[in-house]
Structure 1
């Protein structure tokens, strides 16, 4: 359930920042496949999938892509940090210094 809520929040966040073309990556294959599917989702979380797809259609281009967890290490570490934090932190230009090493290893 957390993965589908994160995908929905990513779409909402993209709209809030006026991003019109986005690629949202996730490591839960089942969720990504449901978001990519053209038909309705009839799972327990299907209403969130359907709402996320509706919101994604409001963007010029929104793609959902599956990546293995080890291929998305920075996002995984950021999500872990967000789950432990009481406040919402947004980094637009600079990452926290302790995650810069993870970012550099993802880039290379």
Structure 2
């Protein structure tokens, strides 16, 4: 049976994977949203004193490859796509796509975009 990790460490690991993906795609300007307010606070302070510190150190290093990167907290209900992807990752291995998103999140993407347009 695999080792269970806490939600905070899982969020940090997901952030690292996302930063690595953005870096591999050659993205230079990046806005990272997460529903983990504690994670945003610590990464914006630049000093992490938690069990996830080694993961954050990797994140800081990857961030040096971007022209601009910022981290912001967002409410979970305003990013249902991320929530659904995290839910699916429990049973299906995560994947990467650069063109067409999987069918199970297309309607959620449209909903999230509609929320952004309202702001």
Q: Give the structure-2-normalised TM-score.
A: 0.80
Q: Secondary structure at the match of 1:25?
A: strand
Post-superposition shift, 1:102? 0.9
- The equivalent residue for 1:10 is 18
Unaligned runs of 5+ in 2: 1-8, 115-119
Alignment of 1:1-108 (within 5 A): 1-38=9-46, 40-86=47-93, 88-108=94-114
Contact 1:34 1:49 in 2 (8 A): no
How many residue pairs match? The answer is 106
Post-superposition shift, 1:106? 0.9
**C-alpha offsets along residues 34-90 of structure 1, whole Å, 9 cap, x if unaligned?**
11113x21212122212211211221111111111111111111222233213x422
Shift >4 Å, 4+ stretches: none
Aligned-pair RMSD on alpha carbons? 1.4
Post-superposition shift, 1:8? 0.9
What is the distance in 1 between the residues matched to 2:103 and 2:64? 35
Q: Give the structure-1-normalised TM-score.
A: 0.88
Unaligned runs of 5+ in 1: none
Deviates most, 47-56 or 19-28: 47-56
